[in-house]
């Protein structure tokens, strides 16, 4: 059993609790945030052992094995570092860190402490994503990638009306690329590695990107990755080769249906994700901890570092550089 302490009380927390309940092998030991009334409600609803307003109380709890961070992006580094120094494994919600040097420091600290730090990103552990990797050599020379993850955010209405929540707050390292575009980057980097060049064409309001188009350049093809929180569009992923294409009519975060269509043959459809998309990432983390698989954890961290570097380089091309 992995005893978990949660930092944060936002909308993702119930999703996390329900996901790990389905996975099994987890127990929510404690939860920490700033609003006591919210914590009290979560404690009662999900039978959490206790809540606290003091993160150190929870990090010093000898019964807690791992900390799950569901806090604004700008706070990931601080709490991840504190948790590792306290001897806990850490699950960091995407995106990993708002500064690349912070991401490097967290990965190195985990290695020094022989602990597991894990970026919670849905797509990398999905069975359908593994199927895409398997199919990729069959589609021939890659010519184009086209990904669109656009969903109109209710928080954008508030943002336009002068209420700035963390998802749209520059000081909290918010924005569309950090929130949605990171899935596209994980998807592409997981298949093709680090691009040779990136450029982000962003719609910027009050210092943050509310939508934009990221171009990831590779020696022989371009990946066009759209992410938006200020407008809506059909979700899709499309990889075009000279012999076939691979398609999903969902976001790069879910991929519940994958279509492989050769030029001269019938299409084949794959629906290998038998569980909710959140299930697989927390199953993977459980196995890493259960098997003390530091080698695999560090391999995943290397991928996370590449994604983090690409993400922040892309934002910089649009003039967005977050404060320390």
pLDDT of residue 184: 98
pLDDT tens for each residue of 174-190? 999 999 999 999 999 99
Tell me the C-alpha distance between 268 and 262, whole Å. 9
**pTM, full prediction:** 0.97
Structural domains of the chain ordered from first start = 2-122 (3.40.50.720), 124-279+308-317 (3.30.360.10)
pLDDT of residue 128: 98
pLDDT beneath 50, residues of the chain: none
Cβ neighbors of 223 (< 8 A, separation 6 or more) are 144, 145, 147, 188, 192, 195, 215, 216, 217
pLDDT tens for each residue of 184-223? 999 999 999 999 999 999 999 999 999 999 999 999 999 9
DSSP of 278-292, one letter per residue? HHHHHHHHHHHHHTT
Answer for the pair 215, 146: CB distance below 8 angstroms, yes or no. no
Burial class (CB in 10 A: 0-12, 13-18, 19+), 34: exposed
- Write down the residue that tokens 């009662």 correspond to: 44
């Amino acid at each position: 059993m992995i005893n978990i302490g949660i930092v944060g009380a936002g909308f993702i927390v119930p999703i996390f609790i329900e996901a790990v309940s389905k996975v099994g092998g987890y127990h929510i030991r404690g939860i920490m945030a700033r609003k006591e009334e919210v914590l009290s409600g979560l404690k009662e609803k999900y039978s959490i052992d206790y809540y606290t307003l003091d993160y150190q109380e929870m990090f010093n709890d000898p019964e807690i094995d791992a900390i799950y961070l569901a806090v604004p992006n700008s706070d990931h580094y601080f709490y991840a570092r504190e948790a590792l120094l306290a001897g806990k494994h850490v699950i960091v919600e995407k995106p990993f860190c708002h500064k690349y040097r912070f991401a490097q420091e967290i990965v190195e600290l985990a290695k020094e402490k022989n602990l597991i730090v894990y970026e919670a990103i849905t797509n990398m552990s999905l069975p359908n994503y593994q199927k895409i990797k398997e199919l990729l050599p069959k589609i021939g020379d890659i010519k184009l990638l086209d990904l669109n993850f656009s969903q109109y955010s209710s928080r954008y209405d508030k943002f336009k009306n002068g209420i700035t929540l963390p998802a749209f707050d520059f000081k909290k390292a918010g924005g569309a690329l950090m929130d949605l575009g990171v899935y596209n980057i994980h998807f592409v980097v997981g298949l093709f590695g680090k691009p040779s060049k990136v450029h982000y064409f962003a719609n910027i309001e009050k210092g943050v990107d509310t939508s934009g188009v990221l171009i990831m350049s590779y020696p022989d093809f371009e990946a066009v990755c759209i992410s938006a929180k200020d407008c809506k569009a059909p979700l899709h992923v499309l990889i075009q080769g000279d012999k076939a294409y691979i398609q999903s009519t969902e976001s790069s975060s879910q991929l519940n249906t994958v279509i492989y269509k050769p030029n001269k043959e019938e299409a084949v459809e794959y629906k290998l994700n038998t569980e909710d998309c959140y299930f697989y990432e927390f199953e993977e983390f459980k196995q890493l901890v259960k098997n003390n698989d530091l080698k695999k954890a560090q391999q995943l961290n290397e991928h996370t570092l590449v994604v983090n570097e690409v993400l922040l380089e892309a934002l910089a091309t649009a003039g967005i550089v977050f404060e320390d």
